[in-house]
Amino acid sequence: MKASVHGSCAIACLVAAFAFADPACAGLLTRNKAPAPAAVTSAAPLIQQALNEQRLLDAGRLLDQAALSGDKDPRLEICAGQLSLARGRYADALGHFKKVEAEPGLKGDSLEGQGLALALLDRSDEAMAMLQKAVAEKPTAWRAWNALGSEYDARRRWSDADAAYEHAVGESKRAPIALNNRGFSRMLQGRLDDAVGDFVEALNKKPDLATARTNLRLAMGMRGEYDRAVAGAPQENEAAALNNAGFAALARGDFAAAEGLFDRAMQAKGEYYGRAATNQQLARTLRTRAEEGVSR
């Protein structure tokens, strides 16, 4: 996720500020007075919009300009945290989110951001506790629900994972990344038909979501549909698709098919393919053990 922009600052339109004169002082009494300064309008909504549209360079430039202008809007820390997450600077992100935990109206966003950063820092126990606090504070925080589902997956707490992803999918209005993650969870549970459905829907919404396409091929392989799992793979990805199909066959205990798929993967690579070679050796070992077990 790991590389998408996280967080849930509200997107708002930038509104021009107006200086109103007191009606009692209008006219001649104010003719020679200096005009009142316009109210300062925060850049936070524009920055959030740039982040939502994944225009990271624009977001960074606007944040720098806001700092130089003296913009003190605490929402800027949320935006800075989101930008740091998108750039892979997870410790920096954590620091930004922590700064505004006590700010009115921002606690949910702060907790969500901290939870996401902790998860990406592999601080799993802390992440789960923080994400649970985030969804309690802000039940609409779908990215927190999505990440919480992953934490439950890692602990094989399937009913909790199902509930978390249900919130994530619903609150995000069926965002592709939430559908993909729920599909992956269902695949881990062996619910392959449900998983395929999620991956297909995710790809219908976002055809270039590579993780969903990879997961869909893997799910098809785990259903024994090896040809479908590799059909249509671009030439540059054919070796990886064959290797993944082989892995699926391995997981199914279909060792002979796995060996053949790994062999095809190495041929498609056109050079040494260490991962497929290792997997093929594992498949041979497991097939030999299974045959020995039957013959005894």
Say yes or no: 164 and 215 in one domain: yes
What pLDDT is attached to residue 295?
Answer: 58
Say yes or no: 191 and 257 in one domain: no
Tracing tokens 């990805």 back to the chain, one arrives at: 237
Q: Are 199 and 219 in contact (CB under 8 A)?
A: yes
Task: Decide if 56 is inside a domain.
Answer: no
The answer to pTM > 0.85 is no
Eight-class DSSP state of 9: P
Task: Decide if 45 is inside a domain.
Answer: no
Say yes or no: 144 and 121 in one domain: no
Q: Are 63 and 69 in contact (CB under 8 A)?
A: no
Eight-class DSSP state of 219: H
How is 257-278 classified by DSSP, letter by letter? HHHHHHHHHHHHHSS--HHHHH
Say yes or no: 266 and 284 in one domain: yes
Q: Considering only CA atoms, which of 110, 64, 82, 108 is closest in space to residue 4?
A: 82
Residue 182 phi/psi, 5-degree rounding, is: -65, -40
Say yes or no: 174 and 249 in one domain: no
Of 223, 258, 274, the last residue of a domain is: 223
What pLDDT is attached to residue 41?
Answer: 80
Helices (H) and strands (E) in the chain, counts: 15, 0
Task: Decide if 6 is inside a domain.
Answer: no
Task: Decide if 68 is inside a domain.
Answer: no
Domain that holds residue 256: 236-296
Task: Decide if 246 is inside a domain.
Answer: yes
- Number of domains within the chain: 3
End-to-end CA distance of the chain: 48
What pLDDT is attached to residue 293?
Answer: 76
C-alpha dist (Å) from residue 256 to 120, 222, 242, 293: 38, 14, 14, 16
Task: Decide if 166 is inside a domain.
Answer: yes
Say yes or no: 189 and 174 in one domain: yes
What angle is formed at CA 130 by the lines to CA 170 and CA 169, rounded to 5 degrees? 10
Task: Decide if 88 is inside a domain.
Answer: yes
Say yes or no: 183 and 109 in one domain: no
Say yes or no: 288 and 260 in one domain: yes
CATH number of the structural domain spanning residue 201: 1.25.40.10
Q: At what angle do helices 75-86 and 44-52 cross, to 10 degrees?
A: 20
Reading the chain (296 residues) residue by residue, the pLDDT tens digits are: 433 334 333 323 322 222 222 233 333 223 344 443 334 589 999 999 999 999 999 999 999 999 999 999 999 999 999 999 999 999 999 999 999 999 999 999 999 999 999 999 999 999 999 999 999 999 999 999 999 999 999 999 999 999 999 999 999 999 999 999 999 999 999 999 999 999 999 999 999 999 999 999 999 999 999 999 999 999 999 999 999 999 999 999 999 999 999 999 999 999 999 999 999 999 999 999 988 876 55
Q: Are 37 and 19 in contact (CB under 8 A)?
A: yes
Task: Decide if 24 is inside a domain.
Answer: no
Say yes or no: 130 and 195 in one domain: no
Q: Considering only CA atoms, which of 117, 183, 121, 162 is closest in space to residue 144?
A: 117
Residues with Cβ < 8 Å from 217, sequence gap 6 or more?
229, 230, 233, 241, 244, 245
What pLDDT is attached to residue 292?
Answer: 83
Say yes or no: 127 and 151 in one domain: no
Say yes or no: 115 and 126 in one domain: yes
Q: What span, in angstroms and rounded, lies between the C-alpha atoms of 143 and 86? A: 14
